[in-house]
Structure 1
Amino acid sequence: MMLHRLTELASGHRFLEGLRWHESALWASDFFAGTVLTFAPDGVATTVAEVPGAPSGLGFLPDGTPLVVSQADATVQRIGPDGSLSIYADFSPLAGGPGNDLLVAPDGHAYVGNFGFAVGTEEPKPTALAHIDPLGAVHRVDGEVLFPNGMALAADGRLLLAETFLHRITAYDRATDGTLSNQQVWAQLPETFMPDGIALDTDGGVWFGNALTTGDDAGFFRVVEGGELTDKVPVTGAQAVACAFGGDDLATLYMSCNATTLEEFVQGQSKGAIATASVGRTGLPR
């Protein structure tokens, strides 16, 4: 397995998630601070919006409008130029727990997951993805998923999804009307691997944060279809959570690393940082 070294870019945050590269800036949500941030090349953060319901997944409509998941009420919110929020879609009827990650496709169809249960007080249980069409209508995606997390569109048009508690990357066929079907296992990972946020490279690999551990398997990994692990960016003293390729040439892997435990997470305690690595790959535009 090829190893890569990370470099810390920014620290002093709490729990960073939902990394996206958009218009020459890295975007991230800070769960516990309740803020959506952008990061300059030197790591300086700017607050774009405050989300009382705790921000999670981020995405951008075809016209560039930012969207953010509000965890507590399981809604997707538009972010206005002044940082104001307005409801874009309410997927709470389909959510068994707090809202989670978000993917907005270039055609305006969006997909959003939810925890499916209350972390720390309930046992994990299956839930469903929500498909939000370009008019803002919410549809249930057929099939159950267990703790759906990061999502991305592959070069062949399939939607890839990290199912954290099933230790796998799942794929769906995606129709021209945005509907998902033919749920399939794209890569089954070892049981010590809990994939969180994902990013795709142009060679067909999926990079993912191996969350919920600070042990020997802590880090960001690259996996190819079928399950072979090819690369690792080790992380020490923190959980590897979300990642995104960025920079003008999409050749830098940005990563969020959060120092917390499950018990501390439930209490809203975490120390978050952004790191970068050159991994010899170029990101697939999202």
Structure 2
Amino acid sequence: MSELRTWLTDLGLLESPRWHDGRLYFSDWTAHEVIALDLDGKHEVVTRVDSLPLCTAWQPDGRMVIVDSARGLLLRLEPDGSLATHADLTGIGRGWNDIVIDGRGNTYVDRVGFDMLAGGAFSPGAVTQVSPDGSARDVADGISFPNGMAVTRDNSTLIVADSYGKRLMGYDIGADGGLSNGRVWADLGDGVPDGICVDAEDAVWYADVPNRQCVRVREGGEKVRTIDLDRGAFACELGGEDRTTLFIVAAEWRGMPEMVPPGTGQVLSAEVEVPGAGWP
């Protein structure tokens, strides 16, 4: 673990790291906060939303979109710091989780098909596409437990982490933002993918909570690098000046119902060779 740098400690359940405009943004689900971290180590709370999950993405126009899972809304952070409703997803489903916005402004939000926190009966999840005008429709279903998502740099492929399936799913993105040709992009064996990001070679880094690691994998399933941690890795993002810094948000995982003990969340990083590309 000598290759790891520690940026922040004593946080809660951390998720959704995003590199934008020279800063790393991430969510502390325990505190219901979206936090921005500068490369000089300074950090600030950008906004608060009483929701769990609490994930974010950036529109091409530079505004942040936030998943308010508790109310089934997408919120948009305005320049004055206020939150406006960007889309209402209550008529489609519940259990909203991760979000990614591609380079054309198409928004993809996934949802778990059952109430995990309440111990509900298992049901597979889905991915919903939200167009720039706010209209929404399901574009993929039958995913055991949809989690992190990423879009390749050419806007051609959406990759979805299926945590229960221990695999990454790939979907072709159509001109209208629809998805087709769903397939297993990578079988991960014993890997349990959570948050993901893509690099300039179209390989994927995935964070793995139970195996306490981040892994770089190519399409087809070849694992080419592993970074081990002393706690669960919940998500990762390529950022920094050259986008060759792999930021990792991690915390101790105790399982249900305790999940993450307060104060165990950390922001870490490791240097990699291939820079980030695509979205997030």
Per the normalisation by structure 2, the TM-score is 0.93
Residues 1:100 and 2:100 are matched in the alignment: no
Aligned equivalent of 2:215: 221
SS of 1:143's equivalent in the other structure is strand
- Residue 57 of structure 1 deviates from its aligned partner by 1.9
Supply the distance in 1 between the matched residues of 2:278 and 2:129 (Cα, whole angstroms).
21
The count of aligned residue pairs is: 277
Deviates more, 1:119-128 or 1:27-36: 119-128
Supply the distance in 1 between the matched residues of 2:121 and 2:227 (Cα, whole angstroms).
31
Which residue among 234, 259, 269 is the counterpart of 1:276? 269
Which residue among 247, 253, 258 is the counterpart of 2:240? 247
Aligned equivalent of 2:169: 170
Deviates more, 1:222-231 or 1:142-151: 142-151
- Residue 245 of structure 1 deviates from its aligned partner by 0.6
- Residue 60 of structure 1 deviates from its aligned partner by 1.1
With over 3 angstroms needed to count, the CA separation of the structure-2 counterparts of 1:230 and 1:123, relative to structure 1, is farther
Give deviations 1:103-143, integer Å, cap 9, x for gaps. Answer: 01111110001222222412432021110001011111143
Residues 1:160 and 2:159 are matched in the alignment: yes
Contact 2:108/2:129 (<8 A) preserved: yes
The letter for the 1-side match of 2:98 is D
SS of 1:233's equivalent in the other structure is strand
The letter for the 2-side match of 1:109 is N
Aligned equivalent of 2:49: 51
- Residue 87 of structure 1 deviates from its aligned partner by 1.2
Contact 1:119/1:266 (<8 A) preserved: no
1:1-286 paired onto structure 2 within 5 Å: 5-54=3-52, 56-97=54-95, 99-120=96-117, 121-156=119-154, 157-190=156-189, 192-211=190-209, 213=210, 217-236=211-230, 238-265=231-258, 269=262, 271-286=264-279
SS of 1:193's equivalent in the other structure is coil
Supply the distance in 2 between the matched residues of 1:25 and 1:126 (Cα, whole angstroms).
35
SS of 2:143's equivalent in the other structure is coil
Give deviations 1:205-253, integer Å, cap 9, x for gaps. Answer: 1000012x1xxx31000111111111011011x2111111101211100
Supply the distance in 2 between the matched residues of 1:100 and 1:31 (Cα, whole angstroms).
12
With over 3 angstroms needed to count, the CA separation of the structure-2 counterparts of 1:255 and 1:91, relative to structure 1, is same
Give the superposed CA RMSD: 1.9
Identity, in percent, stands at 32
With over 3 angstroms needed to count, the CA separation of the structure-2 counterparts of 1:253 and 1:142, relative to structure 1, is closer
What runs of 5+ residues in structure 1 fail to find an aligned partner? none
What runs of 5+ residues in structure 2 fail to find an aligned partner? none
The letter for the 2-side match of 1:219 is Q
Per the normalisation by structure 1, the TM-score is 0.91
- Residue 269 of structure 1 deviates from its aligned partner by 4.8
- Residue 81 of structure 1 deviates from its aligned partner by 2.4
- Residue 267 of structure 1 deviates from its aligned partner by 8.0
Contact 1:96/1:127 (<8 A) preserved: no
